[in-house]
Structures are given as structure tokens and as C-alpha cells.
Amino acid sequence: MSKHLLGASNDPLNIPLDEFSAPLFQALLAYQRLAPVRFHMPGHKGGPGYPPEVAEAFRRNAFGMDVTETRGMDNLHLPSGVIRDAQDLAARTFGADHTFFLTNGTTAGVHAMIMTTCKEGQKIIIPRDAHLSVIGGVILCGLVPVFVYPKIDPEWGISLGIPTEEYERALRENPDVKACLITRPNYYGIAWDLRPLAELCHAHDIPLLVDEAHGAHIHLHPALPQSAVDMGADMVVQSTHKMLGSFTGSSMLHTIGNRIPPDRVQRMLAILQSTSPSYLLMVSLDIAATVARMRGHVLMSKALELAAYARERLSGIDGLRVLDRPGMDSLKLTLSAVGIGLAGYELKARLMDEFNVRVELADFENVIAFITYADTKDTVDELVDAVLNLVGQGSREARARVHAGDQAKFTRALFASAERVLLPRQATLAAHELINLSQAEGRVCAEVVAPYPPGIPLLYPGEVIDRDHLDVIDHALQLGAVFRGLTTGSDGGLVVTVVRDVKR
């Protein structure tokens, strides 16, 4: 550095905030100024989900806490000190034998479960309604996916889970399966008894892997669905950030029992996660686990009371439905205004545009709002008042009509079997080309095509694109859906990636 700079009185970092042209930074500042009412993840809702003194200490010291593996800070990939202690406390909090902090999200945990239990060329049972991270693990490992299919609620058009009989069928037809993976609860909070499936898997000497991304909180209160950790699962991955207080992208992977060697899990995670893991994400996991350990039951009780209050206010309203099933996670508030012809996508947009209320997810007919212990009666009232206002207005301004049963049709298409001509890894690594979506019938998909959220694939790599797929995509786009795996071409039309020189 020159002497001129060393002696300068003006710090070159003195950049006015309004001149600091960092797009994402400015967007986040604008979001904060907007002060939306948040019914989406993360569960801390912008800070209210933290103990006030802890939140203030974190705000004051965030830059100082962004460290590396210096003395006293341990090492995530070889934990022997404070990280080991934090993970051990988290394991006790959530009922596991071993817990691993994840700074690459639940996706890394899903991949680790698959890599720990399967080898290249082997078979794994996965649900057709699995998150796209599951097929990512299948691709990474070069596995053969054996699909099982969920039951669908004809009224709501959502998955009700996969009957144990489906897994029995899959095991009869594929006795060489090496692992069984299931997603539970789903985005809508639907849960079911896993014990029969755990017994079935163990009778066949295969591990049960559970993607419990939406259930990090359910172990904490008996009024919530029972966690897979308590129902015989061997590995369970949870998105701690979704309904508890950790930062987005931070999750936990749990092992239970002695079927899964912890050292093998650690080795897989060392491959999948950064060698420079974020201490801010790790400490947010430590804080979330500590809050859960010290106040989890009472905080879940508060959230459950708020959810019950919202459901009471929204019940019996003409044109509005509220999902309520025995055994579900009632903190997932699923609403439908299909009775007035209002699509879920439009309901979500109008809540945001007209009332500054942001919900988590929309599909053809429904929206989902996440209620957590960071909420208050005031925030719940803002959500409820906004919904009631929109329902009272009716569908006079609806951009596209939606009818009861549209979501069920879409879900049946989403979960239907498709013709597979290549394994997912083969299709992913094959020579490919981009073609206009309108010309894709009969071509072999080279990447996942999935409405996001929830991120459940309509098409997997290696599957043939047929007319039904194209019709479903077209209708979903008209109603406001967004698809991963589709991009805009130079002519403004949608394009999809297909395997070159391979057709049905």
C-alpha cells in the first residue's frame, strides 16, 4: 500500500449507503423497510423468535462471530470441542443418538443419508412426491430409483402420504433394494404412523431414511405429530430453519440406533459440505436447539394456541376452506378460496400486494401460512383480516379462473408414473440440448422439471415428456406457477433441456 493511502484522512470504505450498488443487499434493505407480515420461513420471522438478550448480543457481535477454525472454535468436520458439545446437546434435545450440524441445508443431509447407505448401481425406494433434493442424491450416487406413490385427497388435491402397502409392493418387486426413503410430514403438515414402515424395513434389513424437513419442531410437543426420531427411523434430516429459530440454510441430521455408523456419516458430510462452514449458521443451530431445550414445550403451546385462534376465526366463512385433518401439524395453515374461483397463486399475490402479508406457498387452489412461536395475536390477526377481506371481495378481479378439483388433477399428474428410458444419472450427464417446450413431446428430459415451491418433480431426468406433462405445465403457468428446469429462450418462449439424439 502506498504512503499516500496510509496517510489519507478519507477512508476509501466511506461509501454512502444510497450509492452502494449491491443488488441483493439493497433488495434485502427494501424488504426490511417494507416490513411485511411474515408467514413464511425462516421460523424466527426476522428476529422475534430469538430470546431478546440473545438476539441483541447476536446483532452486536455478528461480524465478530463470523470466524474460521481458529483456536477454541473446533472443526465441523472433526468435532472435538464446542461443536461436538453443541451437537451432543442438540441430539438430546431432539431425541437422537447422534446429531450433525448442516450448513449446506437439508439437501446436504438428504444426500448424506443416501450416500451413507447406498452404492453406485444399487436400488433405493423413494416416494414420487419426494423433494427434488432426493433425486439429486440419486443422481450423485448413480442409483436406480424405485418409486412408491402417495394417496391423494380428492377434495384438497394434496398428498396424504404413502401407504405401507406401497412399500411392501416395492420390496416384493425389488428384493435387492438397499434403503428406503420417505418424506414426512409433507409441506401441508400431513403426517402418519411410520412404525409399520420402520418394522417392514428392518425386517428386510434395510435402513429407513426420513426427510423430516418440515418437522424439526414436532418432537417438542405431544399435540404435534410424532417425530420419525421416535418411530423407528434410522436417519432423520430436519430443516431447523423452517419452523424453529436457526438461519436459512441451516439444518440437522440425526441418527438413531446402531444401523448407521456415525463415522461414515461424518465422512460423507465432509465430502458434501464446505470446508469453510459458516459459524453464523452453526451458532444459529446451537441457539435454536438451546431455545428448544429450555422453552420448547411452552413455545410450541403458544404457537398451537395461535393456530387454533386463526382456524377459529377462519372457520365457517362462505367461499373459504381451512385444511384440518386428524394427526396433522396444525401450525401449517392451509387455506383455499377456490369457492370464489380464486387460484392459490393469485391469493398469495394479492395478500402480498394489497395487504403486505407474505405466505409460504401457493398451488392451484391453496396457500400455506407457517405459524411459529415468533408470531403474536397481532400478526395472526393481520393474516386473518387480509384473507377475510379478499374472500369478501369475491373473484371479480381474478386473473384466471380456478375450479374445485384443479389441484387434484395437477397432483395426480405430478405423482403419476412416467416412462423412463434412461437412469437419472445417465440422462443428467448425457449430451443435451435446449429445445422449445412446445416441441418437447416425446423427448427425454435431461434435468428435473418441478414447480417450486414445493419442489416436487413433475419430470425426472431420463423420463419421456408426454402431452399430459405439457398440458399440466401450460395450465399451471397460466395460474402463476413457477417451474425449475424451464428457462426463457431467445424468442421469449420457454425452453427445456432434453437428451440429444434420444427420443421415444
- With cut-offs at 50, 70 and 90, classify the pLDDT of residue 411: confident
- With cut-offs at 50, 70 and 90, classify the pLDDT of residue 496: very high
Residue pair 113/181 in contact (Cβ under 8 Å)? The answer is yes
Helix, strand, coil % (nearest 5) of the chain? 40, 20, 40
Domain ranges, ordered by start, for the chain: 81-293, 418-503
List, for residues 215-257, the tens digit of each pLDDT value.
999 999 999 999 999 999 999 999 999 999 999 999 999 999 9
List, for residues 146-202, the tens digit of each pLDDT value.
999 999 998 898 999 999 999 999 999 999 999 999 999 999 999 999 999 999 999
Q: What is the per-residue pLDDT for 5? A: 60
Q: What is the CA radius of gyration of the chain?
A: 24
Look at 61-70, 108-117, 486-495 and tell me which has the smallest mean pLDDT: 486-495
The fraction of the chain above a pLDDT of 90, given in percent, is 82
Please state the pTM of the whole predicted model.
0.94
Q: What is the per-residue pLDDT for 452? A: 77
- With cut-offs at 50, 70 and 90, classify the pLDDT of residue 395: low
Decide if pLDDT at 397 tops 60. Answer: no
Which CATH entry fits the domain spanning 418-503: 3.40.920.10, 3.90.100.10, 1.10.8.60, 1.20.1250.20?
3.90.100.10
- DSSP assignment of 145-205: EEEE---B-TTT--B----HHHHHHHHHH-TTEEEEEEE-S-TT------HHHHHHHHHTT
Write down the H helix ranges in 253-373: 262-272, 279-314, 344-355
Q: How would you write 350-394 as a 3-class SS string?
A: HHHHHHCEEECEECCCEEEEECCCCCCHHHHHHHHHHHHHHHHHC
Q: What is the per-residue pLDDT for 427? A: 97
Decide if pLDDT at 144 tops 80. Answer: yes
- Single-letter amino acid, residue 259: R
Decide if pLDDT at 402 tops 90. Answer: no
Q: What is the per-residue pLDDT for 164? A: 95
Look at 145-149, 401-405, 434-438 and tell me which has the smallest mean pLDDT: 401-405
Reduced to 3 states (helix: H, G, I; strand: E, B; else coil), residue 480 is coil
Length of the chain: 504
Give the class (CATH, top level) of 81-293.
Answer: alpha beta
Q: What is the per-residue pLDDT for 399? A: 46
Task: Return the residue matching grid coordinates 377462519.
Answer: 314
- With cut-offs at 50, 70 and 90, classify the pLDDT of residue 8: low
The fraction of the chain above a pLDDT of 70, given in percent, is 95
| Number of neighbouring beta carbons within 10 Å of residue 453 | 17
Q: What is the per-residue pLDDT for 3? A: 58
List, for residues 299-357, the tens digit of each pLDDT value.
999 999 999 999 999 999 999 999 999 999 999 999 999 888 888 989 999 999 999 99
Phi, psi of 317 (to 5 degrees): -95, 125
List, for residues 356-390, the tens digit of each pLDDT value.
999 999 988 899 999 999 999 999 999 999 999 99
In angstroms, the CA 335 to CA 328 distance is 14
List, for residues 324-334, the tens digit of each pLDDT value.
999 999 999 99
